[in-house]
Structure formats: C-alpha cells, structure tokens
Structure 1
C-alpha cells in the first residue's frame, strides 16, 4: 500500500473516531467488494478488482459528516507500470459535510416531499499507480442539498466541482504540471432505503452522479458529460449470526459509469464500465 494510502487511512480513522465522540449518532464500516468487469479509459480489457473500504457517517446537532476511502487493487489487466506483471493500486478518499439549514436557523424548511434543506461541502482526493496516467486528482465541491422524506435517507445535491490533476506518464516519463479544469456542475443523489421481502431484511443503497463537461483536459482534448450510477441490494444477515441489527451485510452491487472521469467513450471502450459485484460489510 502506498504511503499516501496508509496516511489517509490513519487520518480518516482518527477523524471518524473524533466525529463519533462528538456525534449524536455514528456508523463506521469496513467493506469488501469484488468484480471482474471493471473498465479503465484507453484499456480495452476487462479488469478484476478487489476493493477494500473504510467509511464513517455521523450526525450531530446541526448536520452530518461522511468519510470514505477505497483501496482498489487491480488485476494485471490494469498494470502498475509499463511492462509490469502486477496490477495497479489506487486510493480514493471522499469527505462530505452537510449543514442542516433548518436546524441552524431554528426554522421548519420542509415542503412537499422534502423534509429538510442543507448546504454541502467537501473534497475528493486520489492517487493511483498505473502504467500510463497515474492520477493525482484533487477536487473541492460545494452546493445545496435537499433531504427527502423517505424511510432511511435520500439526499439530492447540486454541487459545483473544482477539479485538478497532475498525472505522470510512465511511458514518456513526463510529469504534467497540475492542471485545473473548468468549474462544472454535478447533480448527485445518495440513498439508503430499508425494506423487507417476506420478512427478509433488505436495503437498497447507492449513489448516482450526473456530471457536466469540465472543458478541455490537460492535453487539450474535449471532455464529456459523465453518468456514474452505483447501486446495491444488501441483506442484513446479523440475526443469523446473533449479532445486533445492521452489523453484518452481504449483497450484490452494480455500477454503470459512462465517460469515466470525463473521457469520451467514442472509440474508447474502456471509458464506459458496466460492472456487477459482490459486496460484504461489517458495521461497528
């Protein structure tokens, strides 16, 4: 695991612990997912990935925090460097903080199907070792959020994205200076909705991102609008192993990602991923 990945995991674990101490409620989880149909731009092969995740969500008097970091281990179809026989490694961290404007103002901002109105800000941060691009993404996000009145939660946000990257090409050995894309918009939704089928405890969880074009890329090419939908059906198997509710979950997941990272999928089959996965989670 890279030095960045180790440091980020430690920082997020410390932040999660601190947030849990100050929070009215919290949920920290470790999860694993696996699929064989991952895709990467400019790579026409199916890629297998093992993905380990640490996440924490917590709520306090005026809002909530969300931390997540994925550690993604690719098969040799997505090599770690030119000519390598091992797969690429990636760490991708996300942080979001949502302020509940109704709780701050002491006003009831509910209307129609909306139970609350918020303001969200945060960042994405990644590093990857691969044969060509070696992403070093940095992104700040901010915008309004509507919290819908459903069982569980469904939050919809319209965020402005300020993204940059500074890739290193292992073929040419050229380090690209950090390049900032045009500020662009993302309509995003995140949800976790519990339900039952003949008494079996299930949940429908996931997120959907619809991202506008971010202008020219760092090499002068056009970028494309992205659609990234990741959803899963999870079974709460906690009762079967005599554990508290929502401790152990297993399920299936599917991701559809068109024009991945803004790369147009015209003559670029790897820029659109259609990936089924299996998933397991431990919550504490």
Structure 2
C-alpha cells in the first residue's frame, strides 16, 4: 500500500508540473430505468476531463447519481498514467505505469500496473491497463481495463471494458460500458462544438462482485464538450 500510495502521489505531482499537449472536458446527462441494486430508475450527471501531457496522460470522471426514490451517491475515478519511454513503433504508441484512484461515499480503492497504448486502424485511441487492485473493504485482486474510441461514419463509438478477478467473498466481474452517439452541434447552431445525443449501454456481469447480479441497462445520453 505504501508503494502504491507513493507512486500515485508521484503521478499527481507530475501532473501539477506537466506541459499540457491537449485536453478536453465534458458534461454528460444519463437517464435509465434498468439499473440493478437499488432503484431501477436513475439519472446520472457526469463531469469528465482528459488530457495528454509531457509526462503521460490522465482521465478523471465524477458521477452524481440521483435515484427516483431520493437516494443520491457520488462516485469518481482519477487515472493518471506515467509514460516510461518515448519508444514506439507501428503498433505501439506508448508504455506506461498506469494508476487509478476510485473514490466514493466512504471508500477508496487504489490500482497500479503496466499500461500500453496501441495503434489500431480506424481507432482514435486503444489502451490496455493491467492493474493490481488494493481494495478498502475486500481482498486485493487484479483488473484488466480496455478503453477505445473510433468514428463509425457520422457516429462516434467509445467506451471501456473492466474485468476483475475473484477474491474472497467477491466474484469475478465484467463491466462492458459503451456509448454510441451523434454530434448535433452543427444542427443547433453550435458550430465546431460537440453536443452528442445517443445511447450508453451497460453490460455488467456480477455487478460490484455480487454473484448473479447482472445488469443490462440502456441510458439516454446527452453529452456536451467544452
């Protein structure tokens, strides 16, 4: 845990002194009625920020979840990756030390491991991270995370797949969440801005590591980049 905390602290210090190559921020509204564990009907408001920097890259999101029964929850993840070499070839865009801090109402989990950026035809980005998870309320385990983004004609398709191994009292789980969306900004007078409408679909087996809790959940999506 001390090594993990020190590495994550180093990533945060590097981010504070980084030269930003590019960055993007967005606000998202989601509305779905097939959530598992708790109220089925929920709205989610999400802030996201992503950046490429002189030391690597970073991704942050914070969800504010509001259920129809009045329950509210805040959850977020901060994921800086430190690039360990400038070496690349026709298939690899970068090698990283990948870290993530998962934070919510009353818990913190810390993840660390190797990461790789892959150059794949048609993809704007394709990343793989293999983490060792240090969990606050259950035994440590492993997680493989894939993220991607690509244009499909006039549509944009992006998302992530998280697979985590089983540990004592915690089933192996797989969360495949993706967004298919269309940029309507030119149609509503926003010029070069990005205002997406579309669907986010969640395919989640053993949600939160609970054996047999499987979520299949389509959400209305509205997303504005600024």
Q: TM-score range by the shorter chain?
A: 0.7 to 0.9
Counterpart in the other structure of 1:117: 95
Distance 2:135 2:192 in 1: 39
Contact 2:19 2:54 in 1 (8 A): no
Please report how far the alpha carbon of residue 64 of structure 1 lies from its aligned counterpart in structure 2 after TM superposition.
Answer: 0.9
Q: How far does residue 75 in structure 1 lie from its aligned partner after superposition? A: 2.0
Q: Shift in Å at residue 182 of structure 1?
A: 1.8
1:59 aligns with 2:52: yes
Q: TM-score, normalised by structure 1?
A: 0.69
1:161-240 to structure 2, matched below 5 A, reads 161-165=133-137, 181-196=138-153, 201-215=154-168, 222-240=169-187
User: 1: distance between equivalents of 2:207 and 2:180?
Assistant: 23
* 1:283 counterpart = 2:217: no
1:164 aligns to what SS in structure 2?
coil
- The match for 1:9 is none
- In the alignment, the residues of structure 2 paired with residue 140 and residue 245 of structure 1 have an alpha-carbon distance, to the nearest angstrom, of 38
- Runs of 4+, deviation exceeding 6 Å: none
User: 1:114 Cα shift?
Assistant: 2.6
Is structure 2 residue 211 aligned with structure 1 residue 264? yes
Query: Residue 36 of structure 2 aligns to a residue in which SS?
Result: strand
Corresponding pairs, count: 210
State the structure with more CA Rg: 1
Specify every segment of 5 or more residues in structure 2 that has no aligned partner in the other structure, as ranges: 1-11
1:244–1:142 CA distance, 2 compared to 1 (3 A): farther
> Which residue number corresponds to residue 5 of structure 1?
none
In structure 2, the residue matched to 1:268 is: none
The gaps in structure 1 that reach 5 residues or longer are 1-14, 77-86, 128-135, 166-180, 216-221, 266-270
Q: How far is the alpha carbon of 1:237 from its aligned partner?
A: 1.4
Q: RMSD of aligned C-alpha atoms?
A: 2.0
| Superposed displacement of residue 193, structure 1 | 1.1
Are the equivalent residues in 2 in contact too, given 1:234–1:251 (CA < 8 A)? yes
